[in-house]
Structures are given as C-alpha cells and as structure tokens.
C-alpha cells in the first residue's frame, strides 16, 4: 500500500518537473498548431530540428527545460517541434527556407512569420530572442520590410544587420557595408566591433577589410580573438574546398592563400580531424600526440580539445594520463570552465576522486562566471559525494 501511495504522489511531481520549462505540443499537425494559436491569441514558437543535430540536442537538454525559459515562453507562445527531415517538417523546411539547425521560427497568432533565429545559445540569450519576437520594433520580418521600403539610416542599418544575420539573410552583409559607408568608411571602435561581429565568411567584403587592417582590429578586439576568428573562417572555407576531405590539397591551397604561416599546422590538424570523423582512433592517437608536442604546448584551447577527445574515446590509463597532462597544461595557460571540467573528468576516470572533485568545483565556479551551462558538471559533482 505504501508503495502505491508513493507512486501516486510521485506522478504529479514528475509532471510538474517536465512542465517547468517550455511546454511543447507533440504529435499534432501544423494546422492544429495554427488553430490553437489563433484561438488562444498566442504567438507560435517552432523549433526546427533534425535527429542528427548536436546543437539541437543540447538545447533540448540544457535550455528548453529551464524554469526561467518556460516562464517567458509558455504564457505567450504555443510551442512545437518538427523534424525538418520527416513528414510535415519537409514542407515547412522548404516553405520557410530552413537550411541550418536548430532554427527557431516565430509566428504571430494569425500564422504570419515575424521572426527567426538559429543556433545553440545560453538560456538568457534564448529568452532575449523570444522576447524580441514579440516586439514589432525588433522582429526580423518587420525590420526587413522597413529596410526594403528604404529606411536606411545608420542606426537602423546597424540594428537590421544584426537581426538579419541571426536569420541568415544575405541582406545582413549588404546592410553592414552600407553602415560602414554611412560612417565614411572609417575604421573606429564602433565600426570595427560591428564588422567583426558580423563577419562570418572569407567571402564577406568585411573579411578582406579585417585581413588587411589587422592592427586596427587588434587594438579594439584583441590579437588572440582576431587571429582565432581569421583562422576559424579560413578553416571553414578550406574544409568546404576539400570536398569532405576527399581533396586535402584543395584544403591546403586555401590556407596558403589567407594564412600561409599556418599551412603546415592546420594541414596536420585537418588530417587528424579526418581520422577522428572516420573513428580511426588507432591512427588518430599517435598523430594527436605528435601534434601536441610540435604545435600546441602553449595553446590552451587545442590542448583541451585533444585531451577531451582522448577522454571520450580511450580507456587505457597511459593514454588518459597523457590527456590529463595536456588538460593540466591547458589550465596552467588559461584556466576556464572547459579545461577544468576536462581535468575533473579525467581524474574521475583515473580513479582520483579527490582531485576530480577539486577541479569539478573549480569548473562549476567558472561556469557561473562565464555563464556556461552547468548540468553535466553538477551531475559529476553529485556522483563524487
């Protein structure tokens, strides 16, 4: 009898826990969502996802269940999810030009698209996006209409360019350069920060400005951040040129074109990445160890990345100890949430619970400073009690 009473008490508590975040409508048609929104006079939030999308899974696990997110979304929205590669999702993806995941589509109570955004983001940023979608002065579609009707003053161009970038609208780049022209093509603190934030491809006009005026950007943004962004964008272009790794020489040519001084290192890193994607862990390991020795004894980010890979897929204690050495060096160079978390997990996997807890506590404190999600590290700490 006690067991039955306990189960009856537990079921409502479980339901409350499930509904503390966003309440999504499941197993319904798009027309049913439209009808419900109109009847209740609510906006619609559509989470456009795919089953293979890592950032989609991260948002579902880390952001959507948060009570503060549910508190903002549930009173104003009818929320739903559609797999863009199945059923009605295929038609919705085509109609609303959904090409990247996750994409968030926002509709007014009459079913008109008013706003869109994409990508994984912290809860506070997602809350801001959801609030902006309710505000006609910040909605992507509304601002786009104003832009096309000729509103192009400097302040408006700046606002529209950011919103259009989040919506993956190519007009963002045009608006960005119009804003630069409206500021007399001057590289100052405002225009540099603006262009840096919106440059997302080596094909952007602003990328050439960045590449040929690095010193000015260094002064405003910082050398490491600028160099990392250039490398990231060049890597992305080179990876496309390689045709999914089938043409490594094409990858190398792109690197040589933009950052020739990094050709050897990035080509070696690309070779490692191909082995990793093929799950060829036997060949990956010696190349990773050699890469660390040759290129990244003073690169905290790469050290942590390789240590994380070794943590994830290797059980041999000798390998894990080498990974720990990398992760500890990363912390020594620049202590942050990611590398402290990596060290904590490695110590835990090696059976050192004391040091695992110490670095997990460090990671948790840093996560709060960096506004990172804490679910996994809190779970680790609980297991170490």
List the domain boundaries for the chain: 15-135, 279-385
Task: Average the pLDDT over 262-283 and give the result.
Answer: 94
More confident residue, 232 or 10: 232
Highest mean pLDDT among 1-5, 95-99, 306-310: 306-310
CB atoms within 10 A of CB 260: 9
**Residue 294, pLDDT score:** 96
Determine which one of 53, 78, 121, 296 is catalytic. 53
Confidence of residue 307 (pLDDT cuts 50, 70, 90): very high
**For 279-385, which CATH class?**
mainly alpha
Say what the pTM is.
Answer: 0.78
Residue 116, C-beta contacts closer than 8 angstroms, at least 6 positions apart: 96, 103, 104, 105, 106, 140, 166, 167
Task: Please report, rounded to a whole number, the percentage of residues in the chain having pLDDT higher than 70.
Answer: 95
**Residue 171, pLDDT score:** 94
Bridge partners (DSSP) of residue 24 are 79
C-alpha–C-alpha distance, residues 6 and 364, integer Å: 34
Determine which one of 22, 37, 45, 56 is catalytic. 56
Q: In the structure encoding, which two tokens stand for residue 271, read together?
A: 């070779």
User: In the CATH scheme, what is the homologous superfamily, with its name and number, of domain 15-135?
Assistant: Glutaredoxin (3.40.30.10)
**Residue 7, pLDDT score:** 38
Per the annotation, the verdict on 53 as an active-site residue is yes
Per the annotation, the verdict on 56 as an active-site residue is yes
**Residue 166, pLDDT score:** 86
**Residue 16, pLDDT score:** 39
Confidence of residue 5 (pLDDT cuts 50, 70, 90): very low
Residue 260, C-beta contacts closer than 8 angstroms, at least 6 positions apart: none
- Cis ω before 102 (30° cut-off from 0): yes
């Amino acid at each position: 009898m006690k067991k039955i009473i306990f189960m009856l008490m537990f079921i409502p508590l479980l339901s409350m826990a499930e509904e503390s975040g966003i309440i999504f409508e499941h197993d319904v048609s798009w027309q049913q969502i439209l009808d419900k929104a109109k009847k209740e006079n609510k906006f619609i939030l559509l989470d456009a996802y795919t089953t293979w999308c890592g950032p989609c899974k991260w948002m579902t696990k880390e952001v959507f269940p948060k009570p503060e997110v549910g508190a903002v979304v549930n009173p104003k929205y009818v929320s739903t999810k559609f797999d863009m590669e199945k059923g009605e999702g295929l038609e919705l993806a085509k109609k609303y030009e959904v090409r990247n995941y996750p994409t968030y589509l926002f509709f007014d109570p009459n079913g008109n698209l008013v706003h869109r955004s994409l990508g994984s983001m912290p809860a506070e940023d997602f809350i801001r996006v959801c609030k902006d979608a309710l505000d006609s002065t910040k909605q992507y579609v509304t601002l786009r209409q104003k832009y096309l009707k000729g509103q192009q003053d400097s302040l408006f161009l700046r606002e529209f360019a950011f919103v259009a970038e989040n919506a993956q609208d190519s007009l963002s780049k045009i608006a960005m350069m119009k804003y630069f022209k409206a500021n007399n093509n001057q590289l100052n603190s405002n225009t540099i920060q603006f262009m840096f934030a919106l440059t997302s491809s080596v094909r952007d006009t602003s990328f050439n400005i960045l590449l040929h005026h690095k010193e000015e950007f260094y002064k405003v943004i910082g050398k490491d951040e600028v160099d990392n962004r250039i490398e990231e964008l060049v890597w992305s272009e080179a990876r496309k040129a390689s045709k999914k790794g089938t043409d490594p020489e094409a990858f190398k040519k792109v690197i040589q074109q933009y950052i020739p001084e990094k050709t050897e290192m990035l080509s070696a890193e690309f070779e490692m990445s191909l082995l990793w994607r093929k799950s060829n862990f036997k060949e990956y390991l010696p190349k990773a160890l050699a890469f660390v020795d040759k290129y990244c004894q003073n690169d905290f980010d790469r050290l942590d990345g390789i240590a994380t890979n070794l943590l994830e897929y290797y059980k041999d204690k000798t390998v894990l100890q080498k990974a720990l050495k990398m992760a500890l060096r990363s912390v020594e160079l620049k202590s942050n949430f990611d590398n402290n978390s990596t060290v904590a997990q490695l110590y835990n996997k090696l059976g050192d619970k004391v040091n695992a807890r110490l670095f997990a506590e460090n990671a948790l404190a840093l996560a709060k400073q960096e506004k990172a999600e804490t679910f996994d590290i809190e779970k680790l700490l609980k297991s170490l009690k």
